[in-house]
Structures are given as C-alpha cells and as structure tokens.
Amino acid sequence: MQSKISDKLKTSEKEKILLIIVGILALVVLYYQFSFTKQSEKIKALSDQRTELQEKVDSLPQLKIKNEKRKKEIKIVNANIYDSSSTFFPEIIQEKIITTLDDMINKCNVQCNSMSISEPVTETFKDEDKKYSKEKEKNPLEDLVNKYHDLEGNTSVKGKEHKPKKTNNSKDEKSEPMATHLSITVNFTGSYGNVLKFIDEIKGFYKRIVISNISFAVDEKGISGNMVLDFYAIPKIYNDDTEYTQWNFADEYGRVDVFKYNGQPAQNGDATAADNATNTTSGEAFESSKPQKQYDFYCSLKPISSDLPTVMIGKAKDQERKTYVYADNDGIEDVEIYLVQKGNKYFYRYKTKGEQYPKNGKEQEFTPNSKEFNMKIYSTSRNSKNDKAGANIKIYNKTNLKLNVDVQGDDKERPRVNIIKQGGTINVSKF
C-alpha cells in the first residue's frame, strides 16, 4: 500500500518538473515572439540608421571640398565674364561720348571740322559676316541682367517686375550675340604727328572704340580726312562703370563753338597751349602726354565674399586668360613668382597652393614690355573684422632687370598684400 502511494508521489513530482520546464519554455517562446523579435528589429533599424548617418558624416568633408571647388569654378567664370565685358560700354550715353571725343581732340591738337552721329540701335551679329538687323529692339541681355539683380535683391529698375517671358523658339535655335551700337563720323584736320596721336588716343581708351573706316588726304599743310568710330554697349552684371555712368549733366562742358579755338578757327589743328587751356572739359590745360607704364603681369586680391576669386594672377594682354591662376581662400594664400634669365632670354612662372602656370612647372619665355619688369596688383580694403583674405607673395627675381611692383587700393591698416623679396632688384610702390 505504501509502495503504491510512494510511486504516485514520485510520478506527481516528475509531472511537476515537466510542467515547470514546459512553462519556462512557453515563457521563452512568448518573450521571443512578442518582445525579443520587436527589440531585435528596433536594434537593427537603429544600427542601419547609425551606419547611414556615419556614411553621411564621412562624406561631409568630400562634399565640402566639392562645394568649395564649385564655388571657385563659379568665381572663375565670373572673372572671365567680367574680363570679357569690361572693355564694352554699359550703355550708350551720347553726351558722355561726345565730350570724351572732345577731350581727345583737344588733347591731340586736332581740329574737328564736323561730326555726324547716328541713332543708337541694337544690332544682332551673325557669325563672322557681321550682318545685323538694325531694328530698335530690346536687348535680351537686359532681361538676364535684371533677373540676376533680382536674385541678388537688387532690382535694376524700381517699380517693375521682371517676369520670364515664354518664347516659341525651338531648342535647336541659338540666340545671336547682340549689342547696342552708336556710330560717329569725325571730319578732322591736323598735322601728321597729331593725327597719329589722336588715333593712338582712341586705341588706348579704356573702353573699346572701333575705327571701322578712315580716309584722308595729305597736303603741305597737314592731313585732312574722315574717320568712322563705332561704340558698342552691352548690359553689365557688375556695376563697375561708375566713372562712365555717374556724370553731372548740369556742369558746363566743351565750348560754345566746337569748331573754333577761342573764337578763331584753328589752322590745321595746331592750336596753342593757351587755346587748349580754355577749351577742355575741366577748364584746365591737359598735361603733356606721358608714356603710360606697360605692365607685364597683373594680380588681383579680393575678399572671400566677392563674386571673384580672392587671388588672380596672369600675364598682361591675355584676353583668353590662359596664363591665369586662381585661388579662393578665406585666409592667407601663399603665392610664388619666378623671373629667370637664361642668356639674353627671360622666363617666368608662378603658382598658388592649388594651381601653377605653366602647368608642367617649367618656365615660360616672354619679352618684357619695357627695359624693366612691371607688375600691377589691384587690392581692396577690408570689409569687416572677419575679412582675413590676403596673400604672401614671394618674388624671385633672378634676372639683371629691375621689377617694379605697383600695389593699388590696399587696406592701409590691415594690408592684404605682403611682398616677400627673395632676391634681385624689386621695387614696391603702394598708392
């Protein structure tokens, strides 16, 4: 009897153990099903998110480099646009152009017998044959410029909204280059030397004046003839022509009779200096014509906030800017310039931290414009306390010629330009 009871007790204890094991297994299954799986999914999602964020963090330096490179490329494009358009007039102001020509005529002692002026027209140039339509139409560049100013918060025409207009032009149709054109025919008389001086004065003007036609006759008294001058204007993105556009029309200019010197007709344009003293636009005699310094190299320094690169260096008269190197640095840029002499020949090269010319690092041969090397550096004043852009310019003059460096517009208290002489004769002038 007792043995049967003990067997039953043993059986019930085994069953209890089995039930406990089953219960534990059930709890484990329930935990895995309803808690562990969800937690595991959350952990995996957070892990994936962490990996994605880490990849973004790792790519930030590369994105920063790409953005800085793009900004630099945009500034280089801006510099090319600025340089390409700088020689054109921003607009045709007939009164200003007439007084400019009058200044040249007086300065060169050339007698103007007559002057005919055409009406300004917008011309569409076609390829190289230079055919154009002389219709008085609006230059499409004006809309582009106005849109640019609108984006910059500086609308060029107050009270007017510039909305894009729909055009029916096909995608394959190319827009023709356009410019506003003014033509002036000048009938002149003067000595041989003064006429040549007048032509040089026109060619050397800081804006482009095209001598499209010239005819003359020579006699024992001098030269008389006709000259057709063409003036071209295009809308500008940058307001860099204040010297031309800001002009007080209320002031007195010229003289009562543009064909007389002090009330008496000039003979062959050979007026005396006293005559010219009363016939200039300023009321003072022009100084004798002095030969202007011919620069071999140009350099420009700007703040980082400028639309142009902070450092630009290039060879003079390089309209295509193939010899230019650039840098866009919010701090101090290290620049090196080398002038080397090999026998009777002269060579140059220069570099910034990221660029150099020539690209192969070898010196490029060139001929100086005078008996000395001349370099012009255009700088600007600091625009804020945070404006730290500038350049340490090391110059190596390994030649027998003197290098003149003219620095214009630099900040007097915190200069951007620091010239470091590394040998040779180098003369630095600031003004």
How far apart CA 83 and CA 186 sit, in angstroms, is: 30
Would you list the DSSP string of 183-196?
EEEEEEEE-HHHHH
Confidence at residue 271, expressed as pLDDT on a 0 to 100 scale? 36
Confidence at residue 149, expressed as pLDDT on a 0 to 100 scale? 53
Residue, of 290 and 71, whose pLDDT is higher: 71
CB 405 within 8 A of CB 391: no
CA distances from 267 to 159, 193, 260, 270, 287 (A): 53, 15, 10, 6, 22
The CATH code for residues 94-165+175-277 is 3.30.70.60
User: Among residues 401, 406, 407, 408, which one has the least CA distance to residue 423?
Assistant: 401
pLDDT per position as a tens digit, 27-80: 877 777 777 777 778 888 888 888 888 888 777 787 777 888 888 888 888 887
What is the pTM assigned to this prediction?
0.58
Confidence at residue 51, expressed as pLDDT on a 0 to 100 scale? 85
Q: How far is CA 135 from the centre of its chain?
A: 31
Confidence at residue 132, expressed as pLDDT on a 0 to 100 scale? 43
CB 231 within 8 A of CB 181: yes
Backbone phi, then psi, for 415, in 5-degree steps? -60, 145
Please report, to the nearest 10 degrees, the dihedral formed by the alpha carbons of residues 200, 206, 207, 213 taken in order: 0
Helix 94-107 and helix 192-203, axial crossing angle in degrees, nearest 10? 140
CB 416 within 8 A of CB 380: yes
CB 393 within 8 A of CB 423: no
Is the alpha carbon torsion for 413, 415, 418, 424 positive or negative?
Answer: negative
CB 303 within 8 A of CB 293: no
How far apart CA 201 and CA 213 sit, in angstroms, is: 16
pLDDT per position as a tens digit, 158-213: 334 444 444 444 444 555 668 899 999 999 999 988 999 999 999 888 888 999 99
Task: List the alpha helices (DSSP H) in 249-378.
Answer: 273-277
User: Among residues 116, 109, 114, which one has the least CA distance to residue 280?
Assistant: 109
What separation, in Å, do the N-terminal and C-terminal C-alpha atoms of the chain show?
127
pLDDT per position as a tens digit, 319-369: 788 999 999 999 999 999 999 999 999 999 999 998 999 999 999 999 999
How far apart CA 42 and CA 23 sit, in angstroms, is: 27
Place of tokens 């499409």: 140
Average predicted confidence (pLDDT) for the chain = 78
Backbone phi, then psi, for 140, in 5-degree steps? -65, -20
CB 212 within 8 A of CB 231: no
- The domain locations on the chain are 1-85, 94-165+175-277, 297-430
Confidence at residue 244, expressed as pLDDT on a 0 to 100 scale? 66
Q: How far is CA 365 from the centre of its chain?
A: 27
pLDDT per position as a tens digit, 65-96: 788 888 888 888 888 777 777 788 888 888 88
% of the chain beyond a pLDDT of 90: 41
Q: How far is CA 307 from the centre of its chain?
A: 8
Question: Which helix (H) or strand (E) segment is 402 a member of?
Answer: none
Name the amino acid, one letter, at 346. Y
Lookup: tokens for 362 = 């070898």
Confidence at residue 157, expressed as pLDDT on a 0 to 100 scale? 38
Q: Which range among 131-140, 244-253, 260-269, 415-424 has the greatest average pLDDT?
A: 415-424
* Count of Cβ atoms closer than 10 Å to residue 281 Cβ: 16
How far apart CA 316 and CA 321 sit, in angstroms, is: 9
Largest CA distance in the chain: 163
The confidence band for 317, taking pLDDT boundaries of 50, 70 and 90, is: confident
Residue, of 2 and 429, whose pLDDT is higher: 429
Confidence at residue 171, expressed as pLDDT on a 0 to 100 scale? 46
Q: Which range among 120-129, 215-224, 317-326, 342-351 has the greatest average pLDDT?
A: 342-351
DSSP E strands, 191-331: 209-219, 222-233, 297-301, 311-315, 325-327
Confidence at residue 386, expressed as pLDDT on a 0 to 100 scale? 94
